[in-house]
Amino acid sequence: MTLGIEVNKLQLRYGSFTALHDLTFKLDGGKIYGLLGRNGSGKTSLLSILASFRLQSAGSVSIGGEAPFENAKMMEQVCFIQESGHMNEGFSVRDALSLAASCWPNWDDAYAAKLVKLYDLPLKKRATTLSRGMKSALGVTIGLASRAPVTIFDESYLGMDAPSRYTFYEQLLNDYMEHPRTIILSTHLIEEVASLFEEVLIIDKGRLIVHEETESIRTKGRAVTGPAEAVDRFAQGKTVFGEQKLGRTKSVTVFGELDDAACERAISEGLELGPVSLQDLFVHMTKRKGDEQ
Amino acid sequence: MFDDRSPIYQQIADKIKEDIISGVLLEDEQVMSTNQYAAFYRINPATAAKGFQLLTDEGILYKKRGIGMFVSGEARQSLLAQRRDVFFEEVVDKMLAEADKIGVPVGDIIKRIESVKGRDEA
């Protein structure tokens, strides 16, 4: 079973500060989603609402057609792994795992044991005394073994070294293929995981600015360099980022529908068209004035 | 493994085409599943499936219900024909344009081709 998510005009205010402005989107069940945003953009606020850790100020959320907040039936369908993890004082790793096993009905003990071994997790040690990387490994183990129909990882890799992160990506992908479910990953390490995402959502200052298939984002972005007038002609009707000039040469990043004929014409006019990675596009789209100095 | 020049599904399709042309994948042979491709290249299985769909639409692969994807009987011949079609445009015409730009006479190119060919045949 996979569960879809629908968010409609979602708002979250903390006093006079609005963390989320009118977010509206729909996630089909059974896909891997990437949630990208700069620090303080509202990612964790959004994910906390989806996981019913927090109640929105306005708007609605439905998971599999039901509102998740204070809904016991939904709680066991959603697993939310936060960056530092909420560990009970005095709990051993073993206790944390058995607590998790009792929370999520799809929990797979054998898979949890396999991950404990892969990450070398010390079962008897108190969870609060683990290193940051080991805490993350415990979080990832719980998130994966929960097999919850909606599993959310909010920067769950913090403190993990590169081999541990790659183990996470590999386990996530393989287990997802065997047990399809809705997975949302928020991350700053875009290049490492971009190829795992079927769709990407980018939020900036509490607003949703992109929700697209990852593959279509790749086809829409281009780095364009050449004579200024030709660059401007090509960029017409597209969103333009990161304009730079060197003499009569101009360079921009464009985002929009591109047809092959227009691209060929551009090349024949002496323009260079280069690819733009998801990470570069993200940087351009979320740039602020203060970043340019 | 992949670059940003084209969508990953396109690059998956290109790799499979290359394997068919070079004979690594034979006609009527079963192709690895989309999940196997996804696990191997560490990509989303929907991306791999999109690459397979592209090849099915082009008639390079065909589906046997409940078994998997197979290489079409004429796949290699049609891929070779496609490659030959674009060879002059993509390789020869581009070379001639570059030669013209930097002032290499066509006669020199022909001489060069003949000498390389002669060396290979000797």
Query: What ipTM, to 2 d.p.?
Result: 0.85
Of A278, A79, A94, whose CA–CA distance to A182 is shortest? A79
Burial of A112 (0-12, 13-18, 19+ CB in 10 A): buried
Which chain A residue has its CA at the smallest distance from B8's CA? A215
Backbone angles phi, psi at A44, to 5 degrees: -65, -35
Mutate to test the interface with A, among B41, B42, B90, B101 (most CBs of A within 10 A): B42
Asked if the Cβ–Cβ distance from B47 to A195 is below 8 Å, we say: yes
pLDDT at residue A222 tops 90: no
pLDDT at residue A101 tops 90: yes
A217-292 matches A5-205 in CATH topology: no
Architecture of domain A217-292: 2-Layer Sandwich (3.30)
Tokens for B60?
Answer: 């390079």
In this predicted model, which residue has the larger pLDDT, A244 or A88?
A: A244
Asked if the Cβ–Cβ distance from A214 to B41 is below 8 Å, we say: no
What are A164-208's pLDDT values in tens digits?
999 999 999 999 999 999 999 999 999 999 999 999 999 999 999
What are A131-167's pLDDT values in tens digits?
999 999 999 999 999 999 999 999 998 899 999 999 9
Which chain A residue has its CA at the smallest distance from B6's CA? A219
Domain ranges of chain A: 5-205, 217-292
Residue-level pLDDT, tens digit, chain B, 122 residues: 676 667 889 899 999 999 999 999 999 999 999 999 999 999 999 999 999 999 999 999 999 998 999 999 999 999 999 899 899 888 999 999 999 999 999 999 999 999 998 877 76
pLDDT at residue A99 tops 80: yes
Asked if the Cβ–Cβ distance from A275 to B44 is below 8 Å, we say: no
Q: Closest partner residue to B8 among A169, A170, A195, by Cβ? A: A195
Superfamily the domain A5-205 falls into:
P-loop containing nucleotide triphosphate hydrolases (3.40.50.300)
Asked if the Cβ–Cβ distance from B46 to A31 is below 8 Å, we say: yes
Asked if the Cβ–Cβ distance from B7 to A219 is below 8 Å, we say: yes
Q: Which residues of A touch B33 (CB under 8 A)?
A: none
What pLDDT does residue A217 have?
87
What pLDDT does residue A263 have?
83
Cα distances from A77 to residues A3, A144, A147, in angstroms, run 9, 13, 9
Cα torsion A185, A190, A195, A197 to 10°: value is: 30
Cα torsion B10, A26, A276, B7 to 10°: value is: 0
Asked if the Cβ–Cβ distance from B46 to A198 is below 8 Å, we say: yes
pLDDT at residue A110 tops 90: yes
